[in-house]
Structure 1
Amino acid sequence: MDYFDTLRKGMDELLSVARRARSLGLDPSNDIEISLANELHERIAALFGIPELGERVKYWLDATGSKLETAFRVIGEIVPGYYLKISYERRAELALRVGMAIITDATVSAPIEGISKVEVKKQGGTYLSVYYNGPIRTAGGTEGAISVLMADYIRQRLGIDRYRPTQEEIERYVEEVSLYKRIAHLQYNSEPNEVRIAVSNLPVEITGPPTEKEEVSSFRNLPRVETNRVRGGAVLVINDCIIQKAKKLKKIIDQIKKIGFDDSCW
């Protein structure tokens, strides 16, 4: 018996003990909440509670041999509502979380805790907005950057216009990145003009809930920004993902254009 067989045997024994304990009826549920999932498609099905989703992940992984392409293929099936008849905003959020889970092997917290919510906003135009939390860092810089490509692909599939930041909003990001550098750690030491260029060309809004007590001193009380405090998740995605991984992102875009990704905003 090899090492992994020993692990599986031990886990089966522990699950048997847990089932017997739950059968006594002393807990709120008689079922064991944690499911065993050895393969990526099994983890996806268990994480989101949608068995058909796991089946489609397995299908596309077998067909393409690529987690990246599989993620975008599955996103393309979720957005039209193939799996769940829910609002388009909820489909957009589910699609982004699933796509992130696929490219991170569904083994980190980023797909669930790194994304707070996804909204379609109608302020100064209709655009897609992604709220990022600090745990997006667990995905890694490249994967975090890919999540923005995924959000843009979702926007394209929904037929929503691109995000068009105002000059005040652009400068707000510049100040926010600079302020975050002084109070927390960033992997990449970006220049203000790099932030301006990145934000000016974003097709979706990158935002998030406030994560720090510090507030910006300029560009406060902007109509489309809910807080004056630093949004750590947004800063991480812009600085350590989009800007730091820009060259790598260009190569990834070349790969996903074949599945219908429009790179005109990139």
Structure 2
Amino acid sequence: MVNKEGIDKETEEYVSILKERLGQAYAIAESAREKKFDPSLSVEIKPASDVAARVEGIVGPPGIQNIIRSLEAEGKSRETIAYLVLKKIAAGEVIQGDKRTLIEQAVRTGVGILTEGVLVAPTEGISNFEIRSNPDGSDYLAVYFAGPIRSAGGTVAALAVVLADVARRQLGVGDFRPTDTLIERYLEEITVYGTRSAHLQYKPPDDDIRHIVRSCPVCIDGDPTEDDEVQVHRDTPGIPTNRVRSGIALVICEGIAQKAAKVNKYIKKIKLDWAWLEPVIKVAKKEGGAFSPKPDFRFLDESVAGRAIFAYPSSKGGWRLRYGRTRATGIMGKAIHPASMYLLDSFLAIGTQMKIERPGKSCVVTPCDSIMGPVVKLKDGSVVQPLTSEEAQKLVPYVEKILFLGDLLIS
């Protein structure tokens, strides 16, 4: 039997027990805090039943959860809800305040909706908002990004800039007009960050960086986070530090530049004039009507002596991508056949981190015995495909060459 919400009785009872036990746990935690052994006298994290409640609890403003729920009931997408909620806050329909206050609240809430209220990006990934003056006297909006914006992913980092642009336009704040010196400072800073401070997943061409900084109507700023300093463009007017700011590199490179195609779809959906983004979009070339991927060597850039390289980019005999899932796979969890683990001298164990050519990010290895396993050539010249890990263990002493590593399961 199911109720009017489509939940069966057993599941409903299970959820009820969870809520009851959660209440008991919170009561115990509150009584523990009352003993004054902790800096705070109350439990900081409040229970939230859905995305709307989480967003209001993390970034606010009070009452916004009802607006979010009403938009969800209309079947609108997460990106559309973020845009509509931002417009309402910036228009002063939810809270009152000056331009900077309204913009800050609108953007933080919008990013909170995009990240579904489970990441620190809207609170710690965006550290500050300022309304400043251009050299010609006009005003512009500067948004300070910090390292934790990386947790939101490149798309959300870029959309945070889009939302900031929507809010500043609605409130009549002018656009950012950087000088040539300032643009070159950004370029040097990003180069230093990518080569000395940390690793960037994507480093766009220098001209693309110049184009983004020059054309973006919002100033992408950030607090100094690295010990490394710029050497050429020091003491640049408008930037109070010579230290490298990680936030600008992450948002410009891994956000706007790398995710330009996705951002372009979003700005067209909300009818925002960002025509300047078109030159940054990298379109895959098609030959004969079909996409032909080329070997990507970037995953080998940081290879360390002693680390095993199982296959070179797009080489024959390497892992074959296969789409599917197990209970152990997910965003970072990938699966290979357990026979492959043994045939690779047991180097790949469960939980081992491995860098892969495509999709390009690191993954954690898990086993799956229902995908295609490896194919090996034995010392007697025969070719065998072990179907189980037990068979693979017996074959290890007799293997002359691995002809095929098997499938790599990606969900």
TM-score w.r.t. length of structure 2: 0.60
Deviations 1:102-151 (A, max 9, x none): 00001001000001111110242210100000100011011111111001
Instruction: State the SS of the aligned residue for 2:52.
Output: helix
Q: 1:205 aligns with which of 201, 219, 236?
A: 219
**Aligned 8 A contact 1:100 1:143 in 2:** yes
Q: Is the 8 A contact 1:203 1:265 kept in 2?
A: no
Amino acid at match of 2:120: S
The CA deviation at 1:152 is: 0.6
**Length, aligned pairs only:** 263
Q: Provide the residue aligned with 1:139 in structure 2.
A: 152
Asked which structure has the greater RCO (Cα within 8 Å, sep 6+), the reply is 1
Q: Secondary structure at the match of 2:241?
A: coil
Structure 1 residue 5, shift from structure 2 partner: 5.2
RMSD of equivalent CA atoms: 2.2
Contact 2:61-2:95 within 8 A present in 1 as well: no
| Of 77, 87, 91, the match for 2:102 | 91
Q: Which amino acid aligns with 1:98?
A: T
- Is residue 242 from structure 1 mapped to residue 266 from structure 2 by the alignment? no
Q: Flag the 1:144–1:265 CA change in 2: closer, same or farther, 3 A.
A: same
2:44 to 33, 50, 57: 33
How far apart, in 2, do the equivalents of 1:29 and 1:185 lie? Answer: 37
* Secondary structure, aligned partner of 1:51: coil
Q: 2-11 vs 62-71, which deviates more? A: 2-11
1:52-91 aligned within 5 A:
52-91=63-102
2:187 corresponds, among 156, 163, 174, to 174
Question: What TM-score, normalized by structure 1, do the two folds share?
Answer: 0.91
The CA deviation at 1:50 is 3.4
Secondary structure in 1 matching 2:141: strand
Note the residue ranges of structure 2 that are not aligned, 5 or more in a row. 1-9, 278-411
CA–CA distance in structure 1, aligned partners of residues 199 and 40 of structure 2: 43
The runs of at least 4 aligned residues of structure 1 exceeding 3 Å deviation read: 1-9, 18-33, 48-51, 261-266
SS at match of 1:198: helix
CA pair 164-18 structure 1, distance change in 2 beyond 3 A: same
Identity %: 37
Q: Counterpart of 2:239?
A: 225
For residue 95 of structure 1, report the CA deviation from its aligned partner: 0.8
Cα distance, 1:90–1:51 mapped onto 2, change above 3 Å = closer
Deviations 1:173-223 (A, max 9, x none): 111111011121101022111111111111100011101111111122121
How far off its partner does 1:77 sit?
A: 0.9
Q: Which amino acid aligns with 1:67?
A: R
Counterpart of 1:230, as a letter, is V
- The more displaced of 106-115 and 18-27 is 18-27
* CA distance in structure 2 between the aligned counterparts of 1:110 and 1:26, rounded to whole angstroms: 30
Q: Which is richer in helix?
A: 1
Distance 2:161 2:37 in 1: 45
Q: Is it true that 1:160 corresponds to 2:173 in the alignment? A: yes
Partner-residue secondary structure (3-state), 2:189 = helix
